[in-house]
Structure 1
């Protein structure tokens, strides 16, 4: 079995991290593990294992004949048998499967707006889904949606897993050691940084020595503009620091104390798993599968989405009670190591591949 992970970019996003984790993790599980990046390389390229067969297409259009031909030849040359397409790369994967019907096609649905599925475009996806041999969904809502709206016969929920990167801290973190809150999320509307900033305004008023550290890609759009305008208008520049995309994420997390997500919508956020592996206490909004990770008040604190007062108060509860913070961090780490392990996920993936 020779398996190709297909992803549009290697920017530091959740789906991209999953594709790289699978390509690296499957090296010892299959005869050949490959990764193809269709449109843009990025920070995550440095974390691709040298034993992974790698191809960058530099695709310029939705239907780029030259890119399609290069991928087709690469698959034939390497005798690849399974394409595991992530997110929107399913369209290219479908075209390749039509050209080579012997290929098996798995689609991995990472859709980040699972709270708003009624708005999801689906016409092209529905057509392509008849070529999928299996769908992996990152949460149960996406699984149910795929089962009822798409034409693929088998669909399963597959929890994400995270790995600890072996990185040295190269980012110069501001703030006081032992009093850092981190949010690992690209600047996208569904991540609702404005809700977090409003919550942190309350936190900073009562805990002026604590700081907030935002790590994620800035798309320099209207949403980003609003985020930075709010920081300036509320005079939070000395308390909130933005670092953009970073190569040393694991090291940054280890240098922080509380991890937070303030999303309006999620799948099963990789950030929460990474927080746990970094032994952080966590505060998050109750969306997507967050309650499968932060549950029973034992592994962190959950609040309703778009409620900045509740989010701020939860963060302050964690700040005020060091013993609670340590207990949540310890139990979250234990949960992730047992229920969201790399070994378990890879075994499920390989077993699914072998069913075709």
Structure 2
């Protein structure tokens, strides 16, 4: 079996991490040749690819870049690739390939993060392309329901994300006091709702002034991130809230953190949440996407309403005030992630889908 994962870039995002993790996991299977193509640009995740993975970067300059499409076609032809596993917006270029190479099979992986706002999703081109897909994989139940009603693909499956521990050399040193660090692992995007997080943390330090908040994720240097930084300054939190940008050594960062949080107003199934769980950290999430599928409130973590700073602050203070309970949350969340969101569980489901479409 020869499979090519296709993703826009290798920047540090959830869909990108999944594409790399799937590529690496497949490369360890005895009966699979695994490849990955970054269509637009590379990124820090390139260094995470296994040495046995076949790799191509197209440096595509526009949506309809004929030269890049030809290079991809030739790569697929030269390697006798049978399955094109396209992630997110990469569905368009693989559909073009399908028109000229009808025997290839397309699997489209929907990582859409704004799952709370699916009614606003623009999908005309996706709807047209979907008739060429053999299978659609969705990271949440709501995305599966949407695909079944909006796309032409007959076979649609919900397959939860999985997580693996990275082996990147430690390089990041978090500021603040040991034992009193809160981690927020998310790119600086509006759906991640840093404003609710910062407002909540401002209440936390009124009762626990030694705690610090550490935000790890890509700064796109746009209006949103500028407003976030301005808000931190306005609340005079510069000595309590720190930003690190994109980082590769996530496991190392998690080892220095004591409480983990996601304050999103919309999500699919965030990789960050699974990374928190794998590290056994007490975690608070907002009730969006499939977060509540992973965390059962007051059992293996805390689930609070989205865009509710008071509830988020109370959740953090609850964990700060009860170390035994916090430790139990982390232990049970780690068990949940290892049992239900492991690489082995995911790859077994994925290869079943691959084999089915190859035998059609």
- For the aligned pair, the TM-score class normalised by the smaller chain equals over 0.9
Most deviating of 21-30 and 196-205 = 21-30
Deviations 1:275-321 (A, max 9, x none): 01111110010000000111142110000000000000001101110
Distance 2:232 2:208 in 1: 17
Distance 2:92 2:75 in 1: 18
What pairs with 1:1-356 in structure 2 (closer than 5 Å)? 1-29=1-29, 30-356=31-357
Distance 1:249 1:40 in 2: 22
Give the number of aligned pairs: 356
Distance 1:136 1:179 in 2: 39
Distance 2:335 2:173 in 1: 30
Distance 1:226 1:169 in 2: 30
Distance 1:85 1:31 in 2: 17
For the residue of structure 1 that corresponds to 2:356, the secondary structure is coil
For the residue of structure 2 that corresponds to 1:108, the secondary structure is strand
Q: What are structure 2's unaligned runs of at least 5 residues?
A: none
State the TM-score, normalized to the length of structure 2: 0.98
Distance 1:169 1:199 in 2: 30
Is the Cα contact below 8 Å between 1:87 and 1:109 reproduced in 2?
yes
For the residue of structure 2 that corresponds to 1:260, the secondary structure is strand
Distance 2:256 2:352 in 1: 37
Distance 2:55 2:168 in 1: 22
Where has structure 1 moved over 6 Å in runs of 4 or more?
A: none
Deviations 1:164-185 (A, max 9, x none): 0012321121001111100000
Is the Cα contact below 8 Å between 2:297 and 2:303 reproduced in 1?
no
Distance 1:274 1:149 in 2: 31
For the residue of structure 2 that corresponds to 1:268, the secondary structure is coil
Distance 2:310 2:224 in 1: 21
Is the Cα contact below 8 Å between 1:254 and 1:279 reproduced in 2?
no
Distance 2:7 2:297 in 1: 35
State the TM-score, normalized to the length of structure 1: 0.99
The alignment's C-alpha RMSD in Å is 0.7
Distance 1:205 1:343 in 2: 44
For the residue of structure 2 that corresponds to 1:235, the secondary structure is coil
Distance 2:329 2:93 in 1: 43
